[in-house]
Amino acid sequence: MKKKTYVVACAVLAVDMKHVAQTLGVDLDYKFLEAGLHNNPKRLSTKLQKAIDEISAKGDGDRIIIGYGVCGRGTIGVHSRQLPLVIPKVHDCIALFLGGDQAYKDQFRKYPGTYYLSAGWCEENKETLAQRQQRAWFGSERIQYSDLVKSHGQKTADHTFKFLNSWQKNYQRAAFIETGARQSVGYEAQAREMAEAYNWKFEIIQGEQTLIRKMLTAGHSTREILVVPPEHVIGFDAITATLSANPVWRRKKTETQQSPDPTPGPETGDRDDTPLVKTGLGIDAGGTYTDAVVYDLKTRTTLTKAKALTTKWDFTIGIGRALKELAPEQLKRVELVALSTTLATNAIVENQGQKVGMILMPPPGLAKNIAYEPKAVIQGELNINGEEKTPVNPEQIRSMARHMMNTQQVTAFAVSGYAGSINPAHELKVKQILEQETGLFVSCGHELSDTLNFQTRAVTAMLNARITPRLSRLLIDLEAVMGDFDIQAPIVVVKGDGTLMGSDMAKKRPVETILSGPAASVAGALHLTGRTDALVVDMGGTTTDTATLSNNQVSLNKKGSNVGGHRTHVKALEIRTTGLGGDSLIQFKAGKFPIGPQRVAPIAWLGQAWPGARKALSYLGQNLNRYTATTQKMQILVCTGAHKNLVLTPLEQQILALLKQRSLSIDELVDRTNVLSHVSLPLDRLEENFLIQRCGLTPTDLLHITGQFEKWDTEFAREYCRLYALISGQDMDEMIEFLIRDVTRRLTLELLKRQLDDEVNPDNLDTCPVCRTLMDNLLAGGNTQYRVSMTMNRPIIGIGAPIKFFLTDAAKTLGAEAILPEDADVANAIGAITSRVVIKKQLRIIPGNQGGFIVEGISGSPVYKDFQDADLFAREKLTRKIQRLAREAGSSATRVDVTARDKMIRTPTGESIFMERILKGTLTGQPDLVLKQHPSTAMAVDA
């Protein structure tokens, strides 16, 4: 028996649908629902579902054509049951009369306040205008004027109807849509009568039945028509603003709502946590100091450690100086070198690196939002689901590449396409062509980030390509430095999330080392203490960084790192940073002592490293009356000896020549150069390029004077500090005690802010008067009337050289346990050498528009009819991808733990609708491949 095609539609479509069906010669079984249901979406949904269920129960249909659109979302959640549904992707029936949503939008732009009528509308609304004016709608309830008069009187009835009919003011035009379905002068007259009664403009619009024709003949989903397979519901895709088909989720009994248990991927095995390396060298080239430590990983003990000032113009100089302080016999035992560095962060902030050509494949108009040059937009577009709309043009890519190389001198490329993280096929194709044509380095957005934000991925890829030569140069130079110390060991690098990658991978993905220093510090705190729930505070020379350890995990910054004004999607730890450190500048200004955020070299270091500094100190003592308002001009400058390819101005050259003779205070330099004031000294470029170093009073100097820390010239620091006491009119010992307390107070406040960071904006503490009052009471230990106290339930782990002098008192104020592990001063370097290779990636499975399931994140975005097949494919692909990245990072580990999380919604009838499954895979391993591939260690590892 031949199956029937059923129609369930709004009655206003009856005339046009029957007319089209007749012209097509198709036999349809109709059920028309009363007009106006779009005003009550819930009622529309209920009646539509009931009609579908009745038809499905007959068992003689092949499909059901739905004569509605979104219609106030009354169709959303409607279940297809056993038969496929066919529904147009339109806002409402007006688009069907006009031929599509675009025609509707064109009319709306031309005349927004239009009331549309058609032959079908007039057929359904056969009441005269006078009759219609006697009733009005209040929500879903129809109200008769005569009933109101009887109940409340004519005056109330008139007032009520005036209010209920105020909708008429929203329209200025009545438009009759002439579709040709039924010629009737009476219908046009009815529309014209309404326009005259409501004082609207009247117009006849030529309609179009093409979309109705497509709806009646569609066999599969298209851009205009949606076919909803059986056991699916009608959904609404907010991204594309159109209707979609979502499967009803009927799980097997063996499946659970979520799959939190790890699922091994192929070729998995037991994880071996026994260290392959016995002795490692950890290096942290931080913002102020470079730490180096030789660490025994099997006994978890420090064999030798050292610190040196970081030389930002050439990190290897500072690294070499630190290595010279280490015991030579211990260096010979080193089997692996791990480096954390601020190079990537500094390079981005300082806008350094090679020139990159940005290649974009966006929808029209989106590229203008990326404020970067040089960039080029090429053919090759995907829709939001990763489906190809326009293929790439190989010849266009080759021509564009040659043009950018010849006219814009680019030496690398960054490629990012819209939806590239969902389907990377276009990005990979463009990369292949560029590499073949130019031989230059190419960085793709999907390789570095799985975020859907096309612009962020483009910027991340650009930054990665830009700084590649700088990190490559550092690693090559570092290998040479290791050779100078007879260290024949492979090098690994710490990423911004605290995990490791081999140097070969780091050269290709340097952007991932953003904020690797703070990440290494947290890893070091975890390793040294074994505490899995704590606040971690790292006080260095320039900054204090705080992070939270919870259940052995440190949260990542979900938005991605923001470095130098560039929003990236590099995975980095959620770390709070403030400009407070051992080398923070202490000034006296307007009767107060501001501390930081500017970093300077300590005066004690100046006194030891630069003998001529005493003449500069003598000049300050002789002119002390100049600094009573501010000590800014008391800062002393020295020449670092760094070399930069800069074209200096004559005044810059003069300043460098004077500083090469001896150190000078800013005030004395003004006298020597004969400029009008210190603001006329061109110091910025010289400092930014590390040609000169600024020195001043710091907390490190105060600790020298009190005898708590002794490394450099204590007496020189004391003489300089005495000048501050004279200027401020205070006893020097009391001034020093106050300043040390103030550093502790600032640290306490920063720790409290980090504690509050997950709940509120903690910086509001600085502006809220009540908060300030309570905070002052807490920090002062109370007053005569009351005392504010606090108890933190988790300990505070302190690392960094200066932290031990301030944390104990800060933690006491907060009612917290202070943990100061042994070797806290080099915890960053220990964190670097004790970290592991960790690879985390995810894929997504979503319903397809035409049924089936799409696997996003794989080239081509494959579609599977059966969910279990899609799930199995995604797990295997995810596992293989993570294993490949692990090998690139330097680990042979194969065990991948995969977890699944499903997102579901419920229909009004209680059915579960599947929206997506996110599969997350994690691999953790040792950098054993780095060892095996290095000539000096391969034999030992194999043995």
Q: Which helix (H) or strand (E) holds 905?
A: strand 897-906
- Joined together, the tokens standing for residue 879 give 């596992």
Using pLDDT thresholds of 50, 70 and 90, give the confidence band for residue 652: very high
> What pLDDT is attached to residue 732?
96
Using the predicted structure, report yes or no on whether residue 127 has a pLDDT greater than 60: no
Task: Please give the share of the chain, as a percent, with pLDDT higher than 90.
Answer: 43
Query: What is the average pLDDT value for the chain, to the nearest integer?
Result: 85
> What pLDDT is attached to residue 570?
55
Using pLDDT thresholds of 50, 70 and 90, give the confidence band for residue 72: confident
> What pLDDT is attached to residue 474?
86
Label residue 706 exposed, middle or buried (CB < 10 Å: 0-12, 13-18, 19+).
middle
Weakest mean pLDDT among 126-135, 369-378, 412-421, 916-925: 126-135
**pLDDT greater at residue 571 or residue 302:** 302
**pLDDT greater at residue 34 or residue 557:** 34
DSSP H helices, 757-866, are 769-780, 807-813, 827-834
Residue 491 CB partners (closer than 8 Å, separation 6+) = 337, 338, 339, 475, 478, 479, 482, 502, 503, 930
User: From the CB of residue 736, how many other CB atoms can be counted at a distance below 10 Å?
Assistant: 20
Virtual CA dihedral for 362, 366, 367, 372, nearest 10 degrees? -130
- Joined together, the tokens standing for residue 933 give 């591939």
Average pLDDT rounded to a whole number, residues 619-645: 91
Using the predicted structure, report yes or no on whether residue 529 has a pLDDT greater than 70: yes
DSSP-derived 3-state class of residue 927: coil
Beta-bridge partner residues of 842: 920
Per-residue pLDDT tens for 376-399?
999 998 887 788 889 999 999 999
Locate tokens 């389907």: which residue? 423
Residue 590 CB partners (closer than 8 Å, separation 6+) = 629, 630
Best mean pLDDT range from 144-158, 348-362, 659-673 = 659-673
Q: Which helix (H) or strand (E) holds 464?
A: helix 454-484
Average pLDDT rounded to a whole number, residues 805-822: 95
Per-residue pLDDT tens for 691-732?
999 999 999 999 999 999 988 999 999 999 999 999 999 999
Alpha carbon of 696 to those of 582, 585, 628, 816: distances in Å? Answer: 12, 6, 16, 33
Q: Are 340 and 517 in contact (CB under 8 A)?
A: yes
Using the predicted structure, report yes or no on whether residue 7 has a pLDDT greater than 50: yes
Per-residue pLDDT tens for 167-212?
667 788 888 888 887 765 677 887 788 788 778 889 989 989 999 9
Omega prior to 247 cis, within 30 of 0: no
Weakest mean pLDDT among 464-468, 573-577, 583-587: 573-577
Per-residue pLDDT tens for 401-413?
999 999 999 999 9
Using pLDDT thresholds of 50, 70 and 90, give the confidence band for residue 939: very low
Phi, psi of 635 (to 5 degrees): -65, 145
Per-residue pLDDT tens for 480-495?
999 999 898 999 999 8
Angle separating helix axes 827-834 and 516-529, nearest 10 degrees: 90
- Joined together, the tokens standing for residue 910 give 């209680």
Using the predicted structure, report yes or no on whether residue 440 has a pLDDT greater than 60: yes
Weakest mean pLDDT among 205-214, 360-369, 920-929: 360-369
**pLDDT greater at residue 259 or residue 149:** 149
Length of the chain as a residue count: 943
The per-residue DSSP string of 750-787 comes to: HHHHHHHTTTS-GGGGGT-HHHHHHHHHHHHT--SS--
> What pLDDT is attached to residue 412?
92
Using the predicted structure, report yes or no on whether residue 941 has a pLDDT greater than 50: no
Q: What DSSP character marks residue 804?
A: G
